[in-house]
């Protein structure tokens, strides 16, 4: 290179690098407040809520007046849609619970990322050379995450801490714990637990500098289940979480003023008055066969010894799975049983979907039928419960996604995000493509579209 050309070349190089840096995608923090109803932020004042941190997104960023979720409107399918941009029929997480027709899986949940059948935001960021972090995100055990503290439990005892350590990024709990103290027990859902998880998220953000960090906060959902949506207890927890969000956003922006903060939820909530156990009529119809009591232990719970069709509960709905879906005789028996149950006003059955309607709704392709309950009715907490009983909790979700009570939340603020903009009602499948666009990564299998 000639000496006289070198200054011009260097100037061009510096300007090119500066332009590249200016166009670099900002890092994104995505926080899920489990069970946050859209109206609790949009109509905070009318509902007697003071939520300065969350309400700030309405002025400073872009928001949806409601998010239409997935069927069923429960945590694990919804959170998987939030990081993939597709419905459960495509991503493969059809319920919180793993399918267990013989009742042998000890109420195991769909914890494992290997069961997600499409690409995720985490993988998209990693493919482009970025680092990722995640705390308590559903279906994240073994996910392609650099700094991962996933959601996984078994007993709720201290042994679960050992389990979490075994599936988390090696050394992360110890390294952060030196500065922050003990990480909360996974199966503990108080507002203070969520505040401590948020502190861990801020620490990881500041010390590990991920391009994407996903955080799941669960105390509001737990409180709404126990006391009902809009209860005094739920309002108190949401007020506490607003403070958590304010502090976390401050810490993130202090570390990187160009960061984009996204607040989402997985579903809304409805109050409950009745428990409905649809296992019982399937047993009585001979579609599920249970073991008989024995002289060795006449008080042992019966086990499933055979099944032709079984309900799969999801809060405000049931999937119905046939052992042999091609068996037209069993299909007809099940359809007749469902029609009979739907005619019983005590059971609160609003709608029965067939396989074609389930597919149109993006729901569980394993199910031959889907039972949508009316709000106020929920699936019983045990397959051995009475047909109709008092509710085991005062609030739930899991209803068909069209119910307005199930509207979830979407708020976003940061560089490149319009201020004070309402998107109206959106589809949950559009959120992951929107975040992908902010991150300048690709989600080619997403069926949703970027929102702005």
Number of domains present in the structure of the chain: 2
The span from the CA of 200 to the CA of 77, in Å, is 25
In a domain, residue 3? The reply is no
Residue 140: closest CA among 185, 82, 181, 192: 82
Judgement on whether residues 407 and 304 belong to the same structural domain of the protein: no
Task: Give the structural domain span for 90.
Answer: 26-270+403-439
Judgement on whether residues 358 and 421 belong to the same structural domain of the protein: no
In a domain, residue 304? The reply is yes
Local confidence band at 301 (pLDDT 50, 70, 90 cut-offs): confident
The answer, yes or no, to whether residue 189 has pLDDT greater than 90, is: yes
% of the chain with per-residue pLDDT over 90: 91
For position 113, which CATH number holds? 3.40.720.10
In a domain, residue 318? The reply is yes
Q: Which residues contact 327 (CB under 8 A, 6 or more apart)?
A: 308
Q: What is the pLDDT, as a whole number, of residue 24?
A: 82
Q: What is the pLDDT, as a whole number, of residue 298?
A: 65
The span from the CA of 289 to the CA of 309, in Å, is 10
Q: What is the pLDDT, as a whole number, of residue 113?
A: 98
DSSP secondary structure of 354-399:
EHHHHHHTT--TT-SEEEEEPTTEEE-SSTTS-SEE--SSSEE--S
Judgement on whether residues 238 and 374 belong to the same structural domain of the protein: no
pLDDT, mean of residues 390-415: 97
Q: Say which DSSP state 112 is in.
A: B
Judgement on whether residues 284 and 265 belong to the same structural domain of the protein: no
Q: Say which DSSP state 43 is in.
A: T
Judgement on whether residues 188 and 210 belong to the same structural domain of the protein: yes
The span from the CA of 145 to the CA of 125, in Å, is 9
In a domain, residue 13? The reply is no
In a domain, residue 118? The reply is yes
For position 313, which CATH number holds? 3.30.1360
Judgement on whether residues 134 and 212 belong to the same structural domain of the protein: yes
Local confidence band at 29 (pLDDT 50, 70, 90 cut-offs): very high
Q: What is the pLDDT, as a whole number, of residue 31?
A: 99
In a domain, residue 161? The reply is yes
Judgement on whether residues 418 and 339 belong to the same structural domain of the protein: no
Q: What is the pLDDT, as a whole number, of residue 427?
A: 98
Judgement on whether residues 247 and 278 belong to the same structural domain of the protein: no
The span from the CA of 123 to the CA of 107, in Å, is 29
pLDDT, mean of residues 217-227: 98
In a domain, residue 11? The reply is no
Judgement on whether residues 266 and 282 belong to the same structural domain of the protein: no
The answer, yes or no, to whether residue 23 has pLDDT greater than 60, is: no
Q: The pTM is what?
A: 0.94
Judgement on whether residues 313 and 356 belong to the same structural domain of the protein: yes
Q: Compute, in degrees rounded to 10, the torsion defined by CA atoms 426, 448, 267, 196.
A: -110
Q: What is the pLDDT, as a whole number, of residue 299?
A: 67
In the predicted model, what is the mean pLDDT of the chain? 94
Q: What is the pLDDT, as a whole number, of residue 296?
A: 65
In a domain, residue 12? The reply is no
Q: What is the pLDDT, as a whole number, of residue 441?
A: 98
**Position with higher pLDDT, 295 vs 57:** 57
pLDDT, mean of residues 18-39: 81
Judgement on whether residues 176 and 302 belong to the same structural domain of the protein: no
Judgement on whether residues 241 and 287 belong to the same structural domain of the protein: no
Q: What is the pLDDT, as a whole number, of residue 295?
A: 64
% of the chain with per-residue pLDDT over 70: 94
């Amino acid at each position: 290179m000639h000496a006289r050309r070198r200054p011009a070349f260097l100037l061009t190089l510096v300007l090119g690098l500066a332009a590249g840096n200016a166009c670099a995608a900002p890092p994104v923090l995505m926080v899920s407040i489990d069970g946050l109803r859209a109206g609790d932020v949009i109509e905070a004042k009318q509902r007697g809520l003071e939520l300065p941190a969350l309400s700030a997104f309405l002025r400073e960023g872009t928001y949806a007046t409601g998010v239409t979720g997935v069927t069923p409107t429960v945590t694990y399918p919804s959170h998987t849609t939030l990081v993939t941009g597709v419905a459960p029929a495509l991503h493969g997480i059809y319920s919180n619970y793993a399918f267990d027709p013989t009742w042998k899986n000890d109420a195991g949940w769909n914890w494992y990322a290997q069961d997600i059948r499409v690409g995720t935001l985490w993988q998209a960021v990693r493919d482009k050379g970025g680092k990722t972090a995640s705390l308590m995100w559903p279906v994240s055990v073994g996910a392609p995450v650099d700094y991962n503290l996933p959601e996984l439990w078994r007993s709720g005892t201290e042994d679960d801490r050992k389990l979490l350590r075994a599936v988390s990024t090696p050394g992360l709990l110890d390294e952060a714990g030196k500065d922050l103290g003990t990480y909360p027990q996974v199966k503990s859902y108080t507002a203070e637990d969520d505040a401590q998880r948020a502190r861990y998220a801020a620490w990881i953000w500041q010390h590990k500098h991920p391009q994407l960090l996903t955080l799941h906060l669960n105390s509001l959902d737990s409180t709404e289940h126990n006391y009902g949506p809009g209860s005094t207890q739920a309002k108190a927890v949401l007020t506490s979480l607003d403070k958590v969000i304010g502090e976390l956003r401050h810490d993130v922006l202090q570390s990187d003023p160009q960061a984009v903060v996204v607040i989402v939820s997985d579903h809304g909530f409805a109050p409950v008055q009745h428990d409905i156990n649809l296992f019982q009529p399937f047993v009585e119809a001979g579609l599920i066969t249970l073991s008989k009591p024995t002289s060795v232990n006449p008080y042992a719970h019966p086990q499933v010894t055979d099944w032709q069709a079984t309900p799969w509960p999801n809060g405000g709905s049931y999937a119905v799975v046939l052992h042999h879906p091609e068996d037209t005789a069993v299909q007809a028996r099940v359809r007749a049983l469902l029609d009979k149950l739907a005619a019983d006003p005590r059971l609160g059955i609003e709608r029965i979907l067939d396989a074609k309607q389930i597919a149109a709704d993006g729901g569980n392709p394993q199910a031959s039928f889907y039972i949508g309950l009316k709000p106020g009715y929920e699936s019983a907490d045990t397959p051995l419960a009475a047909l109709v009983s008092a509710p085991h909790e005062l609030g739930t979700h899991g209803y068909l996604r069209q119910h307005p009570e199930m509207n979830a939340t979407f708020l976003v603020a940061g560089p490149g995000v319009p201020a004070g903009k309402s998107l109206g009602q959106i589809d949950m499948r559009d959120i992951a493509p929107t975040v992908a666009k902010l991150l300048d990564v690709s989600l080619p299998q997403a069926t949703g579209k970027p929102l702005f």
